Amino acid sequence: MHTMIFELLFWISLLALFHSYILFPFILKLFSLNKKANQLIYNRNDALPFISVIIAVHNEELVLADKIKSIFYTDYPHNNIEVIIGSDASLDGTNRILNVFSKNYNQFYYHEFHERIGKPQVINRLVTFAKGDVLIFTDANVFLQTSTLFEIVKHFKNPEIGLVDTKMYHRGEKINGIAYQENAYINREFNIKDMESRAWGTMMGPFGGCFAIRKDLFSPVPDKFLVDDFYLNMLVLSSNYRAINGITAIVTEDIAISINEEFRRKIRIAAGNFQNLKYFFHMLWPPYKPTGFCFLSHKVLRWLGPFFMIITFITSILLIDKDLFKYLLFIQVVIFLIPLADLLMQYFKIQNVFFRFITHFLTMNIALFVGFCKYTAGIKSNIWQPTRRNQRE
């Protein structure tokens, strides 16, 4: 009887991992096949909506001036733009830069917060000042192209659309570190989200660096929440609006190279994911409808990935008397040892791309597990240090 239970647990866990990473993208590809992106859009001659570009910053003097210029260098009508920036107790030259721009640009406003309150709470407060029909949230290290704002906003002509993401291109990809693997992961995620957008308008979370939402769909991010972008995305879907990928709205960002920096960021995101799971748990039902299906398949099963991996490993040990599970256990042990081999190879200046992919995958799952532990221990603050990505220093 115990053997049957262990086998059942093993195959259910393995199937959950297989579904989230392999089967679900295949199903999406079938449902999105021949489906076009949103076609009901503004054109350049239409009266475009007034927009509020909102940025929360903390010690961003290295990139802030270039970021602000990238906003005002866009071809979106400047009389339809306001920029609102909140400085979250910055200690470097951030406030000085903001003061200079406020004198040189109309409809540019900034607010200094003298005590750290965290990005979500800065956003909540800045939105109260916003006059735009569309809110565009963006990070200081994410740069816009000339057409970016128009390419985001054009989709809001469709009254069914509540949120639009951008297409992120990364700079600074190098063979050392995890830049190559992180970029491959992000590109795969973008493709999955694009298929979700075209199939059902159920994109599961913007990348966060730059996205737009209808102001009347915004609701303040709850206190101590760590992942504001996914919270807002799920609010849009819960209001029966569509969330889509703006594939022609291009932004650029330096990609993370340091695995330690990225590990720290993913722990924070993982803890925030479980906050969102608790808050939007009801949206998993019914699982056969697009929103519930995508939420479960794309996000929840992946967030639970480390637990499925632990279950498959433990049950393989308990079933080691069977030849099949003996081989399966051996395969798992080899996979788990690859990061150590990768570390040893790095010591000798050998870069193995395949090994680094395994390291990246396992590291992400360890971060999910640590993030879950952090969540269960209680989130005491949503204040964090921005991930160091800019490589032009």
Q: Tens of pLDDT along 301-319?
A: 999 999 999 999 999 999 9
Dihedral angle sign, alpha carbons of residues 304, 309, 312, 315: negative
Element (H, E) at 151: helix 148-153
Cα distances (Å, whole numbers) of residue 254 to 228, 363, 387: 21, 21, 11
Q: What is the pLDDT of residues 81-123, one digit of tens each?
A: 999 999 999 999 999 999 999 999 989 999 999 999 999 999 9
- Of 54, 66, 169, 131, the closest CA to residue 393 belongs to 66
Question: Would you say how long the chain is, in residues?
Answer: 393
pTM (2 d.p.): 0.93
Mean pLDDT over 272-278 rounds to 96
pLDDT at 391: 43
Q: What is the pLDDT of residues 17-67, one digit of tens each?
A: 999 999 999 999 999 999 999 999 999 999 999 999 999 999 999 999 999
- Of 114, 110, 67, the closest CA to residue 88 belongs to 114
Which residues face 243 on adjacent strands? 163, 202
Q: Cβ contacts of residue 378 below 8 Å, gap of 6+? A: none
**Domain edges within the chain:** 51-281
Residue 287 dihedral angles phi and psi, to the nearest 5°: -70, -10
CATH number of the domain at 51-281, please? Answer: 3.90.550.10
Q: Which of 163-177, 263-277, 368-382 has the lowest mean pLDDT?
A: 163-177
pLDDT at 383: 78
3-state helix, strand, coil in the chain (%, to 5): 55, 15, 30
Give the neighbor-by-neighbor strand order of the sheet with 242-254.
Answer: 108-113, 81-88, 51-57, 134-138, 210-214, 161-171, 242-254, 142-144
- Across 323-332, 351-360, 378-387, the highest mean pLDDT is recorded for 323-332
Q: Could you write out the DSSP letters of every residue in 82-105?
A: EEEEEEES--SSHHHHHHHHHHHS
For residue 188, the SS3 value is helix
Which pair of structure tokens corresponds to residue 136? 């565009």
